Structure 1
Amino acid sequence: MVEDIQAAIPLGFLLAFMIGPVFFVLLETSATKGFRAGLFFDLGVILADIIFLTIAYFSSFQLLENLSNQPGLYVFGGAILLIYGLTTFFNRDFVKGRTDIKPRKGGYLSLFVKGFLLNFINIGVLVFWLGVIIIVGPSLDNQANRIIVFFSTMLAAYLITDIFKILLAKQLRRKLTTERIRMIKKALGIILVICGLVLVFKGFLPKDKLNIEKGIEYIRE
């Protein structure tokens, strides 16, 4: 059990630094809205991860095969991400000269939902957890209690690492001006648009290029 925990901690740390839309939105939220806002957003992200993990655990190879045959899911998720990125890029919803942008009443719940949805619409996250389950499961003898301990530790390490990221991003608030906030939001919008286009592109790839099982076998080798 102790070995499982020790193996999970580095993976959780690496997961926190995987570059994607959630990574950049978390930093932007923490820098412009503060620690609590970033934390609520991150908790929403983790809830989506837990749901994906549960689905991955009970589905495994069958779901991988279905996902490979349904590239439209990538297009759907990518399109939503693309629209969100364009909205962020063109959004002018901030007060000129104000850098202390705290969420309105009830805003923390909306940030939680935002984190959840932003992670949940990315079908690539589900594919990632499926791959991890398939690779790690046999080394844990596919025992439910060991799998629960392993992934609970992994997500806890992920959350702790994200808390440090949130604290560091929060320090940037003192240096934020209206123009810098505008630049951050535009840069974030561009990143989200790129991530959305990548997902859409994956959806139009030939099915043999989307063979996830072969990719996992390649990683194993």
Structure 2
Amino acid sequence: MDISQFKNPYFIGFFMAFMIGPVFFMLLKTSILKGARAAIAFDLGVISGDISFMLIAYYGSRTLLEKIKDDPRLFLVGGLILVIYGLITYLDKSNKKEIDETNVEVPKANNYFKLFINGFFLNFINIGVLAGWLGIMVVIGPSLDMDPNSIFWFFVKVIIGYALTDLAKILLAKQLKKKMTPLVIYRIKRAMGVVLIIFGAFLMLKAFIPLEEIMDNVS
């Protein structure tokens, strides 16, 4: 896996869209039971929750990142956040049981506003998502010199990648639901945890060794 892909905003959006959880099941179930429009309304709420987390991550860390943006220890902090997030994802005991998608309730009426609100809050209460966006902000912000315009457009591209991936999930909901068995989901979540741990470890190493030297040794 090319580590440079993690600085590709569309790849980040794709990756974050596949963080398995209640949002994943709710999106599939809404699409199957209520149709694509209802699922899109729900997904817009989910994306709004992610945008809220991005804003919190940006404004919550902006002052600190501007002060230490040229400090290699910044990579240590960002890498540590991602490693911890990856460990939590990998070691989460609930992964073995997995969320029972039959317990994910979809509103009976096609109330698009209610679906939007449900999507927003179902995503917003997951503090792990905030940790993920904070780790990404710590890594990406300084690489863009903390320029608000560059950061804005970077995360616009992230959201586009996220939204397009979710749209594909909505359109392929029936096929995905059949294939996403508890064992498959368990393996996907653990694999995502491993990816986050590896990437976080690379970032922590970058605090002491130039990334180019690390990649030369790996290759």
TM-score range relative to shorter protein: 0.5 to 0.7
* Residue equivalent to 1:108: 119
Change (3 A) 1:199 1:108: closer
What TM-score does the superposition give when structure 2 sets the normalisation length? 0.59
Structure-to-structure mapping, 1:10-21, within 5 angstroms? 11-17=8-14, 19=15
Root mean square deviation, CA, Å: 4.3
CA drift at 1:73: 5.3
* Residue equivalent to 2:144: 136
- Structure 1: give runs of 5+ residues left out of the alignment: 1-9
- Report the more deviating stretch, 160-169 or 194-203: 194-203
What TM-score does the superposition give when structure 1 sets the normalisation length? 0.59
CA drift at 1:24: 3.9
Amino acid at match of 1:35: I
Identity %: 12
Give the SS at the match of 2:58.
Answer: helix
Which of 189, 193, 213 is 2:207 aligned to?
Answer: 213
What is the aligned length? 188
- Structure 2: give runs of 5+ residues left out of the alignment: 1-6, 31-38, 109-113
Structure-to-structure mapping, 1:1-221, within 5 angstroms? 11-17=8-14, 19=15, 22-25=17-20, 29-33=26-30, 34-60=39-65, 61=68, 65=73, 68=76, 76-82=84-90, 84=92, 86-91=93-98, 93-95=100-102, 102=106, 107-114=118-125, 117-122=127-132, 125-137=133-145, 147-175=147-175, 180=178, 183=181, 185-196=182-193, 210-214=204-208, 218=212
Q: Residue deviations 1:44-100, cap 9 Å, x none?
A: 23322332233443223378627737987566534432354x42441362449xxx9
Q: Residue deviations 1:99-155, cap 9 Å, x none?
A: x962687743442225x5232234xx5444333222221xxxx6xxxx222222222
Alpha carbons 2:28, 2:170 under 8 Å: kept: yes
4+ runs deviating over 6 angstroms = 69-72, 200-203
Distance (Å, rounded) in 2 between the aligned partners of 1:118 and 1:55: 16
